[in-house]
């Protein structure tokens, strides 16, 4: 299969948006050039991938791994919340505090 | 007793067990060495001084009380800063996790602690293990003890440099495309990537989950094997952990006998792009094994030259998925949360500020390789090449016991050395990547110095779960080749 190898800074901006990363204009331009070089170099990979080859996603032939569904102690909540960027507390309860998740202003 | 830092882990363990030295003395000697040289080397991101001494004293008390001790009891170990260790920061060399302390221990951390080993601190790495030079660490590069103007390889440059500078006798690493073996090669130390699934990934911050494998770093083959035995084995918390006994790597590391062994030399790894001094040391190492009775044959692995390209599609794809967890909501860096911005805006700002250039580059590349319309051409094709690489290995191992190649095409590059392009830097992992794609065990062993006086490593690869063969050949190489020590090592001797 033919791969398009030229990436523009507009392409990179779209990908950065999908990946939820703010990039500076300088980064957009720099990455567009650099990633073009990488995609160029990996073009031979697509050329070697004949339709009859079975793809490998994992080196070990693993199927699903199951365990018994038993109650085990969880991590101490205080330790978990200690590293949170923001928490809210009410009596004995603690929550992660996150920015607004809906489109309208808070 | 500064000479304690030049002893092997095996010897230190024996001295501690018989009470000739205490673990506290040994630990203090290594902490002193860190204090003396780490401002020049910068192998450590965090030195856990007080707790290390406390643990050492506890081990000494245990010994005096006659309690049973593990094979490496009281021996200090340095831990790559992507393994969770409660009570100390786990930063992954990233601003994203600066000052983050994990609420649980990694499996390898648990196992070294359960074996009564003493954790000295956390070692520097390329940011989230993405790099081959330790230069992408947000906290500054590590310097190669052989030449402080040069890189110690990467991503595990901190662990490798700590060994070469006698700051630790053994260290923990993780290898996704060569991050244990490539730093070992350019620092003149030993680094082993076990069979995928041989050492638990639980609590190791993930980079590319189908490739990541924790493993031992050491100055001698036996020390690597002893640490491998401590950290290896089944762990139900890692769904890819292999439920089989750890191969007897310690016995193999003490069996430097290669007579009758069939060793394949990978034809594709040499020539253009390889430093002549690296190739010379490699061929001398192979000749030494032949002299010791091994049968040497040249083996062609025609798809190995495609491994680098396949890796730079598969790895970023897995990276883009794994790095999605850093969303600034439950832990890690959050910026721009001024009460008016949406959760997505805060996520974008936090990830933009928290990740360095190489991490962003790989996330973008992976997002592209997995995106609708390109998936088959990129990720799908790379998965097929992965099949071809595995077939190459299968064919090779049907005729030989192990495969060998140089560990790296060149010796250590200078810190800040401008690369012709991005791919030129990625080629540092050219020889190490195929074993990650196939999940097989492989190790890098010191093979002397190149013409520029810098260390060269040779790589030994074996079939899945035949890790012991890697150690056997490594132990033969160690017996046959003259040991070389880094200038900082000589200073301490």
Q: Which helix (H) or strand (E) holds B21?
A: none
pLDDT of residue A103: 67
Token readout for B60 is: 């000494």
Q: What is the pLDDT of residues B146-176, one digit of tens each?
A: 999 999 999 999 999 999 999 999 999 999 9
Which residues 128-157 of chain B have a CB within 8 Å of chain A? none
What is the C-alpha to C-alpha distance for residues B431 and B409, in angstroms, rounded to an integer?
Answer: 8
Q: What is the mean pLDDT of residues B421-442?
A: 93
Q: What is the mean pLDDT of residues A8-19?
A: 96
Select from B74, B128, B69 the least CA-distant residue to B98: B128
pLDDT of B79 above 90: yes
Q: What is the mean pLDDT of residues B253-260?
A: 97
Whether B350 is catalytic: no
Give residue B491's pLDDT band: very low, low, confident or very high (50, 70, 90): low
**How far is C-alpha B140 from the geometric centre of its chain's CA atoms?**
19
Instruction: Supply the pTM of this predicted model.
Output: 0.96
**A73/B265: higher pLDDT:** B265
Report the percent of chain A where pLDDT is more than 90.
Answer: 57
Domains annotated on chain A, with CATH? 9-48 (1.10.20)
pLDDT of B440 above 50: yes
pLDDT of B492 above 70: no
What is the C-alpha to C-alpha distance for residues B476 and B335, in angstroms, rounded to an integer?
Answer: 54
What is the C-alpha to C-alpha distance for residues B462 and B260, in angstroms, rounded to an integer?
Answer: 16
Tell me how long chain B is: 493
pLDDT of residue B405: 98
Q: What is the pLDDT of residues B83-135, one digit of tens each?
A: 999 999 999 999 999 999 999 999 999 999 999 999 999 999 999 999 999 99
Predicted complex ipTM: 0.92
Q: Which CATH architecture has domain B2-263+400-492?
A: Alpha-Beta Complex (3.90)
| Domain residue ranges of chain B, discontinuous segments joined by + | 2-263+400-492
- CB contacts < 8 A, A to B, total 186
pLDDT of residue A62: 72
Q: Which of A11, A45, A62 best tests the B interface by mutation, with the highest count of B CBs <10 A?
A: A45
Whether B159 is catalytic: no
Q: What is the mean pLDDT of residues B350-359?
A: 98
Residues of B in contact with A14 (CB under 8 A): none
Token readout for A73 is: 């102690």
pLDDT of A40 above 70: yes
A43, closest residue in chain B (CA to CA): B309
Q: What is the mean pLDDT of residues B461-486?
A: 95
Q: What is the pLDDT of residues B178-232, one digit of tens each?
A: 999 999 999 999 999 999 999 999 999 999 999 999 999 999 999 999 999 999 9
Residues of A in contact with B210 (CB under 8 A): 57-59
């Amino acid at each position: 299969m033919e791969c398009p190898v030229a990436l523009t800074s507009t392409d990179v901006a779209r990908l950065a948006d999908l990946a939820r990363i703010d990039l500076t204009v300088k980064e957009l331009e720099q990455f567009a050039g650099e990633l073009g070089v990488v995609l160029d170099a990996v073009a031979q990979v697509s050329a070697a991938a004949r339709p009859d080859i079975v793809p490998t996603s994992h080196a070990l032939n693993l199927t699903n791994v199951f365990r018994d569904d038993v109650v085990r102690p969880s991590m101490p909540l205080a330790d978990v919340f200690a590293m949170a960027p923001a928490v809210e507390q009410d009596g004995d309860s603690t929550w992660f505090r996150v920015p607004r998740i809906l489109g309208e202003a808070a | 007793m500064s000479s304690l830092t030049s002893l092997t882990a095996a010897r230190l363990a024996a001295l501690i067990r018989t009470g000739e030295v205490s673990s506290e003395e040994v630990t203090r000697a290594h902490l002193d060495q860190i204090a003396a040289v780490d401002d020049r080397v910068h192998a450590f991101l965090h030195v856990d001084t007080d707790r290390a001494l406390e643990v050492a004293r506890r081990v000494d008390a245990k010994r005096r009380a006659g309690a049973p001790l593990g094979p490496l009891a009281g021996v200090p170990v340095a831990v790559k800063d992507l393994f969770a260790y409660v009570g100390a920061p786990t930063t992954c060399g990233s601003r994203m996790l600066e000052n983050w302390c994990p609420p649980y221990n990694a499996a390898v951390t648990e196992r070294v602690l359960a074996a009564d080993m003493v954790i000295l601190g956390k070692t520097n790495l390329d940011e989230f293990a993405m790099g081959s030079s330790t230069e992408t660490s947000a906290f500054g590069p590590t310097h190669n003890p052989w030449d402080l103007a040069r890189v110690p390889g990467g991503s595990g440059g901190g662990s490798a440099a700590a060994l070469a500078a006698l700051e630790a006798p053994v260290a923990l690493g993780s290898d996704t495309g060569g991050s244990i073996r490539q730093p070992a090669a350019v620092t003149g130390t030993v680094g082993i990537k076990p069979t995928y699934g041989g050492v638990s990934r639980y609590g190791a911050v993930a980079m590319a989950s189908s490739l990541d494998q924790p493993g031992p770093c050491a100055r001698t083959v036996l020390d690597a094997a002893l640490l491998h035995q401590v950290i290896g084995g089944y762990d139900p918390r890692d769904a890819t952990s292999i439920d089989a006994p750890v191969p007897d790597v310690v016995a193999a590391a003490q069996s430097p006998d290669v007579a009758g062994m069939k060793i394949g030399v990978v034809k594709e790894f040499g020539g253009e792009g390889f430093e002549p001094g690296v190739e010379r040391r490699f061929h001398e190492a192979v000749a030494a094994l032949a002299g010791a009775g091994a049968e040497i044959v040249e083996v062609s692995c025609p798809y190995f030259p495609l491994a680098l390209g396949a890796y730079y599609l598969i790895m970023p794809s897995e990276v883009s998925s794994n790095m999605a967890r850093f969303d600034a909501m439950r832990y890690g860096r959050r910026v721009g949360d001024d009460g008016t911005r949406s959760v997505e805006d805060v996520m974008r700002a936090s990830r933009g500020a928290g990740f360095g250039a190489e991490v962003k580059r790989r996330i973008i590349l992976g997002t592209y390789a997995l995106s609708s319309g390109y998936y088959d051409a990129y990720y799908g094709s790379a998965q097929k090449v992965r099949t071809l690489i595995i077939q190459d290995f299968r064919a090779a191992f049907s005729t030989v016991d192990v495969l060998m190649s140089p560990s790296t095409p060149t010796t250590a590059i200078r810190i800040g050395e401008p690369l012709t392009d991005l791919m030129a830097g990625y080629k540092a992992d050219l020889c190490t990547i195929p074993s990650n794609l196939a999940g097989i065990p492989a190790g890098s062993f010191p093979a002397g110095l190149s013409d520029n006086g810098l260390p060269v490593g040779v790589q030994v690869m074996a079939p899945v779960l035949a890790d012991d063969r890697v150690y056997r050949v490594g132990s033969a190489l160690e017996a046959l080749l003259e040991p070389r020590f880094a200038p900082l090592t000589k200073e301490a001797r």
